[in-house]
Chains A and B, each alone.
Chain A
Amino acid sequence: MRVTLTVNGRRHQADDVWEGESLLYVLRERLGLPGSKNACEQGECGSCTVRLDDVPVCSCLVAAGQAQDRDVVTVEGLADPGTGLAPVQQAFLDAGAVQCGFCTPGLLVATDDLLRHCPQPTDADIREALSGNLCRCTGYEKILDAVRLAAARSGETAGER
């Protein structure tokens, strides 16, 4: 079947999509967007997290056909082409929250969503929001630091306005 969808603001079309195929597969294997990672295929690890119509979901559990005419944002779409890295990306880099980097794309999409809805999260908010993203390298501590850093920076920016 044919699936047409918008990814990171661009219209894409994929042909000969198998009906049982996941959105993750379409992104990685058909649209040349391998930023979203395939690490468990069962929604346990969050490495494939994308925003689907503005809601973070595991793209491995969305059937490709369900993404028809919908709007998807992946890690590749977080950075503003004009201004460089998005604040969450810069914070993850600066705080040392990136190690092997495989869980990072999903964590960034989840964090970005958290800070949109809750610009000054508590530690409990952060742990809760990121509870569906497994990381085997960092021990999560630096990830918590990165989210705090991103929140603090956006707070400063807001204060200057």
Chain B
Amino acid sequence: MDFLRPASWQEALAAKAEYPTAVPIAGGTDLMVEINFDHRRPDALLDLNRITELREWETGRQTVRLGASVPYSRIMEHLRAELPGLAQAAHTVASPQIRNRGGVGGNLGTASPAGDAHPALLASGARIEAVSVRGTRMIDVDDFYLGVKRNALAPDELIRAVHLPKATGPQAFAKVGTRNAMVIAVCAFGLALHPDRRTVRTGIGSAAPTPVRARVAEDFLTAALADGGHWDSGRPPAPSVAAEFARLVAGAANPIDDVRGTAAYRRHALGVLARRTLGWTWQAYREQDRSPACA
């Protein structure tokens, strides 16, 4: 095994081009477990810890460019206003020790359906900045997850950053686990209200081979909110609307039975989380100034 220690981003890209099988390691919170358990023996490790810009973020007018290695603990502390959904999700990641090391880039690189960041990334409409010596491309999060632990990165690409639209409305993340802490999600759900576009987006974790959006549920709720004039009136959607939204979210999942819960339970719980997050976010929407964000 080789241990590559690029001192700069350009060196990292060159190394990845030269050794496409080298596995990037930043927080190590997934990869080191696989190595410790002898599940994986990569040809080379590509250490990204020395590349300081990966741990930085820039807040622009409409988006946050979040370095791939910004630890979850920093997201919780500093980006609560701009990225509330992701900040909430960050707070539920494992433990303080893990949150001090792990970042969104690792979740995306591993692409495990149980990664806590995914529902928030899906719900906010993130784009992934994938870079290689060949150049930079932006991958829509909708196109990023290809299968169980498979993503859209080319062998020579590294994740430089994730671009997330700054929240224009309330966002929520909720997860069900068998314990109060240190929990792999039994299932997780993210919801973002986008009052500027008068749409909603969702993200489901741990309940399908890949993280997924509940698109039919989104379309239904977006239409129901528009038809009922809810964005202007602030009135909460009718219980029947919330129930249908919950049903459609549950239907979007494709879960399995495992140690942590049955497929039927996961579907049910997702419906509950959908209804709850809708309640919380709409309450927050009513309480905030409803003047259009982009007049």
Interface of A with B (CB < 8 Å)? 1, 18-20, 22, 41-44, 46, 49, 55-58, 60-63, 65-66, 68, 110, 127-129, 131-134
Contact = CB atoms under 8 A, between A and B. Distances in A.
Contact of B33 (A43, A110, A131): A43
B96 A129 contact: yes
A46 B98 CA distance: 10
A79 B92 CA distance: 32
B5 A68 contact: yes
B2 interface: yes
Contacts of B45: 19-20, 63, 65
B5 A18 contact: no
Contacts of A1: 3
Contacts, number: 89
Given A60-B36, A63-B32, A65-B45, A46 B95 contact: yes
Contact of A19 (B2, B180, B181): B2
Contacts of B94: 43, 132
B96 A110 contact: yes
B116 to A, nearest CB: 14
A65 B35 CA distance: 14
A44 B181 CA distance: 10
B29 A61 contact: yes
B255 to A, nearest CB: 23
B41 A20 contact: yes
Contacts of A62: 28, 32, 101
Given A1-B3, A63-B3, A20 B29 contact: no
Contact of B95 (A19, A41, A131): A131
Interface residues of B, number: 29
B3 A65 contact: yes
Contacts of A41: 33, 36-37
Contact of B100 (A55, A60, A66): A55
Contacts of A57: 97, 100-101
A156 B2 CA distance: 52
Most buried by B among A46, A56, A58, A127: A58
B96 A131 contact: yes
Nearest to A38: B36
| Ranked 7 nearest A-B pairs via Cβ | A132-B95, A131-B181, A19-B3, A19-B1, A41-B36, A61-B32, A65-B3
Interface in B14-49: 25, 27-29, 32-33, 35-37, 41-42, 44-45, 47, 49
